[in-house]
Structure 1
Amino acid sequence: MSTASPEIGRTLRAAGRQTNVHDQGSGAPVTLIHGSGPGVSAWANWRLVMPALAERRRVVAPDMAGFGFTERFDGESYDMQGWVGHALGVLDALGIEQTDLVGNSFGGAIALALAIQHPERVRRLVLMGSVGVPFEITPALDAVWGYAPSIEAMRRLLDLFAYDRGLVNDELARLRYEASVRPGFQESFGAMFPAPRQRWVDAMTSAEADIRALPNQTLVIHGREDQVIPLANSLTLATWIPRAQLHVFGQCGHWTQIEHAARFARLVGDFLAEAADDEPQPLS
């Protein structure tokens, strides 16, 4: 693969597959797990905030199995345990024993499950527009997961993602459409969330008791005008996780890290930099 594209980072073998990973900066690690839009990659999701976070931290952002420029296998199926295992494989391949973890939407569900199943590997959690708790699938999420490639369909999805329609133009729709039809991209995405899609929301849910037992300092973030994932999800997470705080961005859709990139990076960077109570504490 050509290194000319900014979407290509370094390639490493993680959980048995060649994995495209962005690895920037130095210091304590923070791992960013992207969402599940068509044609998505770690770079597409995090490009605006990685440089700012990398000023203080080592930033690791992999293309998760089935997405981006990470290796795909013919006929494979995808599930939460596979994605959690892949995320752990990335950490193992990089020699990272413990990381802060930032999950966007679908990536939030992976981050939540990883923190529950492997608590020793996760210090602090950031969950942004997150899946992982029970909710009725929104028409917007159903449309995202049911995407059939065309520039017009991509433009409609971008309108659902963004509150600020100034961010959505024909050029962006063309670029994201072209990303979605790269060889292998739509084949894996189209097979990932077939209808009826409520079952995939349910399959990404962690048990309430497990979420309530999380010891991690957690920052929950949501866009007030998010049409894809309900704001109620983040209210639930902030209620269930004992050491959680909640930040809601007004005039913001599902693209918090894009629509409010500088504020998002400062908020997350400051939260992760706090010195007190760094280690997860067992609940009494």
Structure 2
Amino acid sequence: MTSATYESTLVTKDVEGLTFAYHEAGEGEPLIMLHGSGPGVSAWSNFGDNLPVFAEQFRTVMPDLPGFGGTGLPELDEVYPVVAARWIARFMDHLGIESAAFVGNSMGGAVAAELAAQFPERVRRMAIMGSGGLSVGIFAAEPSEGFSRLFEFLEDPTRERMVAWIRTMVHDPRLITDELVDERMRNATAEGVIGRMKAIFGSMFDPRRRETYTPLWTRAASFTTPTLMLWGRDDRMLPYDQAHFANRWLPEIELHSFAHCGHWVQVERKYDFERVAIEFLTRKAPGPDARS
């Protein structure tokens, strides 16, 4: 089945007064896929082409994160990934999901990691791509080129600035089609979207909130969740060097990098991403004599 067949799977659900929009397809063990935070993003824009493949193996749920797509923005009384992780836990409760495997792209990876920190029993394992949270910059200057272009767009949301931002997402410029730019512009300039994005990023850089927040990467050695990090070697949003801190400190981690690939691993290396992620997510735990 093609991705177009699954586009109609979009539904909404009220979760404790917050509207969640999400796609769901397939049967089996639950898998929750969390998207990134770029302008005009949604679960479908990040993972729509991957859904048919994952739905063959899992009960696959793709929610729009709080404040993105069709999901409402709750009060941001803490940094965004913490708030979003708690709402994803409530969302799981309303779907009757006690624990799940997770795939997280960029911000979605940070939210999955926050969920694993707060409620480790709910995250069976996670495959996170170009993810913040558990990773941290070692060599590259901050803000990255990708974040600089993103913030420029938020201040002046023109088509030219959208194209400039998308260029930092991919290694292969042939992926930047008029259709892609039009869709992202349409979604990003819809009523209220820019304001919500500014609030989300504002919570993450607010000195008052950061004073009371202990970054995930400082707790990396305490994580018990089996983790696969996937990274494009040519990522200009969250550069590849960030992967190595997590790869050194997380007790249960694997790192897989992709050449000729930017931030959108699931787009530029679609088939390899699906193959590597599914192998990790379906792998049987080793027996007690596996290391003998």
1:214 to 215, 223, 247: 223
Q: Which amino acid aligns with 1:142?
A: S
What SS class does the counterpart of residue 53 from structure 1 fall into?
helix
Q: Residue 134 of structure 1: CA displacement?
A: 3.5
Gap regions ≥5 residues in structure 2: 288-292
- Is this contact kept in 1: 2:21–2:63, CA < 8 A? yes
Asked whether 1:241 is paired with 2:250, we answer yes
How far apart, in 2, do the equivalents of 1:14 and 1:76 lie? 17
Gap regions ≥5 residues in structure 1: 279-284
Single out whichever of 257-266 and 186-195 deviates more from structure 2. 186-195
Asked whether 1:143 is paired with 2:153, we answer no
1:24-103 equivalence runs, <5 A = 24-72=25-73, 79-103=80-104
How far apart, in 2, do the equivalents of 1:5 and 1:99 lie? 21
How far apart, in 2, do the equivalents of 1:154 and 1:61 lie? 24
Q: Residue 197 of structure 1: CA displacement?
A: 5.2
Single out whichever of 51-60 and 135-144 deviates more from structure 2. 135-144
How far apart, in 1, do the equivalents of 2:214 and 2:47 lie? 22
Alignment-derived partner of residue 215 in structure 2: 205
The TM-score, its normalising length taken from structure 2, stands at 0.85
How far apart, in 2, do the equivalents of 1:155 and 1:7 lie? 28
Asked whether 1:181 is paired with 2:181, we answer no
Q: Residue 179 of structure 1: CA displacement?
A: 1.2
Q: Residue 240 of structure 1: CA displacement?
A: 1.3
Cα deviation code 1:212-271 (max 9, x no counterpart)? 121222111000000000212212112111111110010000010011111111111111
Q: Which amino acid aligns with 1:17?
A: L
The TM-score, its normalising length taken from structure 1, stands at 0.87
Q: Residue 191 of structure 1: CA displacement?
A: 2.9
Q: Residue 118 of structure 1: CA displacement?
A: 0.4
- Provide closer, same or farther for how the CA distance between residues 8 and 199 of structure 1 changes in structure 2, counting only shifts above 3 A: farther
Alignment-derived partner of residue 198 in structure 2: 190
Asked whether 1:260 is paired with 2:269, we answer yes
How far apart, in 2, do the equivalents of 1:270 and 1:223 lie? 18
Q: Which amino acid aligns with 1:149?
A: P
Alignment-derived partner of residue 134 in structure 1: 136
- Is this contact kept in 1: 2:81–2:107, CA < 8 A? no
- Is this contact kept in 2: 1:116–1:211, CA < 8 A? no
Alignment-derived partner of residue 290 in structure 2: none
Let me know the Cα RMSD of the aligned residues: 2.6
- Is this contact kept in 1: 2:116–2:123, CA < 8 A? yes
How far apart, in 1, do the equivalents of 2:266 and 2:257 lie? 12
Q: Residue 146 of structure 1: CA displacement?
A: 4.1
Cα deviation code 1:56-99 (max 9, x no counterpart)? 111111111110011246x8676232111111111111000010
Q: Which has the higher helix share?
A: 2
How far apart, in 1, do the equivalents of 2:227 and 2:145 lie? 28
